[in-house]
Amino acid sequence: MSRADDRAAVFLKAITWLRVLLTPVVMALILHGGTGADRIAAVLFALAAVTDFFDGRLARRWKQTSSLGAFLDTTADKILVCGALIALVDVGRASAWVSFLIIGREMVVMGLKGVASASQGSVVTPSLLGKAKVNLQFIAIIVAIVHPDIVIAGRFLDWWLLWAAAAVTVWSGIDYVGRYAGAFTRVRDR
């Protein structure tokens, strides 16, 4: 590995860890509340979300993809989303059911990907639906943090977006289970 490759790998890991480190900061700001804290939380969450896009794109461009990098990247996303949802439930801006559906799906799919990777000996790459899911989650959470006074059919906009994110999240989870459920039988047959 060249020095440039080493620097690229360190930079990509730093971007991934930034998402993890920003999670408790975003949570604290949401829990503190107030317009100023909410705006800062939304900006920091958006910054963390954008790093997800650049992380994967740069890793492919610089040929720095690895099983560990893929695992850390998706884990950082899940930590960020789950942390923000927990804080939003605490302040009454997210439904416990929405949070349960999203967090539960993330746990199931993470376990499923681990088993599939172990049985197939390769990284389970995110599907297009999985990528759409995480982007919708990011958007819904940013809107829920800001909590604009936009009401549609008697509910705030963020309520609709969070339920839409939960629906796509469940749909994506069903897709993963359908595609990789065979990995469980391969592991059991060994």
Q: Is the dihedral of CA 92, 97, 100, 101 positive or negative?
A: negative
Position 116 scores a pLDDT of 73
Give per-residue pLDDT as tens, 23-51.
999 999 999 988 899 999 999 999 999 98
Task: Specify the CATH number for the domain of residue 15.
Answer: 1.20.120.1760
Q: How confident is the model at residue 168 (pLDDT cuts 50, 70, 90)?
A: very high
Residue 146 φ/ψ, nearest 5 degrees: -70, -35
If we measure between CA atoms, which residue out of 188, 125, 132 comes closest to residue 165? 132
Position 67 scores a pLDDT of 63
Give per-residue pLDDT as tens, 92-112.
999 999 999 999 999 998 888
Number of domains in the chain: 1
> pTM here?
0.87
Could you list the residue range(s) of the whole structural domain that residue 153 is in?
3-189
